[in-house]
A and B are shown apart, each in its own frame.
Chain A
């Protein structure tokens, strides 16, 4: 079927299998490889993107589900000023090691900070609960989200 949606601010019209995974549409058809495939079952968050501003796992999203929506991937998000603040916070706290989980975790960070400008530790952990990281042990990531929130509030 023909699917139309907005992707990182631009209109996209393309043909896709209605049950194709959004992740494959992004990575294979549109060559946006920022979203990663970890588990392919909705459990790890490596493939997370924003659909209408809400965090969603692209590996279990059928292409037909994004018709008429606004999809933001890490490639689009990295052009924003909020991204620059989040990136620096991740660097400053050492929250990135191999980086495989990072695009998804950055999208989750945006979702957390959009909902709670000044998140509690519990809100941060809850917001990250769908993202697995096999390297960092999470403490530095929680710190990075809190730091990014603080810097965004100070601006």
Chain B
């Protein structure tokens, strides 16, 4: 046996190890075990000894904290989808995530720290202004998910820190329009060519409030469409036919897609624009708050 490895009993112990030497946190391992695989049956080789954290119950919880939901970083997607307090918008994104076998082990923290522009949870988390608790042996800091991710696979976590908690708004009792769509070669176990999350409240007089839109895989990081949100905010759904063109133009300015093995920049741009236009011109204006589809 040559590989050193750490399987701490507590979070405090994990943070001490993390602060003491170079280690690679391993949560569900669904990204790491694929990215770092060698020819079977050679064990996966990481850039530093693994620090296993998925078994720590201190990192696996869903807590309702007034109007916020606080989720332990090592909570699996299965457990998240199973929790009653989780917003239906996030559940929609989880429905599109991989397959049951992956969701049983993949964690929310792993999805965030992997920082893929195609990560399925990020459009939701960016749209609702989720914040992250980063902890080291000496204390904790809280950063917005938008500030956390700086590029593909890059984030502001120091070598001594772990992501310990993800915070976002609790399930809102007021019905909301919620939309998540992922364009991928097949329904399961596929990474996105592009993805789009949109949510909004529609008042009884048809005024649109709190429109939030974010998209994945169309730029080096998940993009929030702030400018388009401002164009539509406080307008009537009846005006969407007229405003959609400007909103889509604003979204285009925020996109910076690339060609890669999954898709092309041109396809990503045009498909995302068509999807946004469809949501604004059709899905959102035709949505009624008694529509139950956002509870699936």
Contact = CB atoms under 8 A, between A and B. Distances in A.
A68 B7 CA distance: 12
A56 interface: yes
* Chain B interface residue number, banded: 20 to 34
B1 A60 contact: no
B3 A55 contact: no
Nearest to A29: B41
B33 A62 contact: yes
Given A42-B34, A42-B102, A55-B101, A65 B54 contact: yes
Contacts of A127: 100
Contact of A67 (B7, B33, B105): B7
B278 interface: no
B189 interface: yes
Interface in A96-137: 108, 111, 126-127, 129-131
Interface residues of A, number: 37
Contact of B101 (A24, A37, A42): A42
Contacts of B43: 17-21
Interface string A1-24: 100000000000001011111011
25 contacts: A1-B1, A18-B43, A19-B33, A19-B45, A19-B46, A21-B43, A24-B40, A40-B37, A43-B189, A51-B104, A54-B104, A55-B100, A55-B101, A57-B101, A60-B30, A60-B33, A61-B105, A62-B26, A62-B29, A62-B33, A64-B7, A127-B100, A129-B100, A129-B189, A130-B101
Interface of B: 1, 3, 5, 7, 26, 29-30, 33-34, 37, 40-41, 43-46, 50, 52, 54-55, 78, 98-102, 104-105, 187-189
Interface of A: 1, 15, 17-21, 23-24, 28, 37, 40-43, 45, 48, 51, 54-57, 59-62, 64-65, 67-68, 108, 111, 126-127, 129-131
